[in-house]
């Protein structure tokens, strides 16, 4: 299957289990891999045969900057559900939500959740 990637989109949201995360907010990064047959788009040069990246970004922003959730898992699940419901051509998606500065002890670059969801038949 062909793939479209949107990498390291940056948003500011209020997700997390700690009260300060919900009050102060923090940065989140999102990587998306969208599985779609791009043959017709490549042959026709017609956006209607592909997926509008700008609209994907807008939907991602609405989820990430929208109502607070406790878990990255819930954010990723909501985003995959939204994307699969809005794009008929989308066969499956991989959603990775990254929290670069989590308020937990230790030394690491980030924490992240990645999920893979397919269009239900």
Set 22, 39, 69, 99: catalytic member: 99
Q: How far apart are CA 62 and CA 9, in angstroms?
A: 13
Q: How far apart are CA 107 and CA 88, in angstroms?
A: 42
CB 99 within 8 A of CB 112: yes
Catalytic (active site) residue 3: no
The catalytic site residues sit at 99
């Amino acid at each position: 299957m062909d793939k479209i990637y949107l990498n390291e989109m940056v948003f500011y949201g209020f997700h997390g289990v700690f009260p300060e995360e919900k009050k102060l907010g923090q940065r989140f990064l999102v990587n998306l891999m969208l599985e779609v047959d791009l043959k017709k788009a490549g042959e026709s040069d017609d956006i209607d045969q592909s997926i509008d990246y700008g609209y994907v970004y807008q939907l991602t922003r609405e989820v990430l900057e929208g109502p607070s959730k406790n878990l990255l898992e819930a954010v990723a699940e909501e985003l995959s559900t939204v994307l699969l419901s809005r794009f008929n051509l989308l066969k499956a998606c991989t959603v990775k939500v990254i929290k670069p500065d989590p308020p937990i002890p230790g030394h690491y670059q980030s924490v992240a959740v990645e999920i893979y969801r397919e269009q239900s038949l």
